[in-house]
Amino acid sequence: MSKRLRRTRKGIKVDLPPEERELLRSVVSQMREVLAEGDDPALDRLYPVAYPKDEEREAEWKALIRAELGDHHAAALAALEETADAESLDEEQANAWLRALNQLRLLLGTRLDVTEEGDERPMSDDDPRAATFALYDYLAFLQDQLVDALAS
């Protein structure tokens, strides 16, 4: 797969075909629904536990920070969706893409039980998880290219 995101003098060049741009809009829309419903266990990965051994303090933490984190997640997703058709991104937009891609990967990775070993991957295209793993890998590919572009 060729470079989709790279730094130029005018910012981060976005070279995505229309179907990949549509895919990004689609997964953002789905993620927004998951965030709004708020009852998907995979969301726990987006809202880290601060006090695992103290239920009272953890409840206070969640009451204070969950809405703020939710707003942060929603803003990053909105930025990705709003700029999905952009030819280039400025630093702020690129960082929002990075946050949104990370959120999407965390949610998918949790649902797929992804581990560092990587032995959970399907061995055939007939596996019902194959398409979700392909999406996970694509998002990782974009995230990696964006990190490289921002670092250069």
How far, in whole angstroms, is CA 33 from its chain's centroid?
Answer: 14
Encode pLDDT of 85-124 as tens digits: 999 999 999 999 999 999 999 999 999 988 887 777 777 7
Q: Which of 92, 94, 40 is nearest to 70 (CA)?
A: 40
pLDDT computed for residue 1 by the predictor: 66
| pTM listed for this prediction | 0.89
pLDDT computed for residue 52 by the predictor: 93
3-state secondary structure (DSSP) of residue 12: strand
List, for the chain, all residue ranges whose pLDDT scores fall below the cut of 70.
1
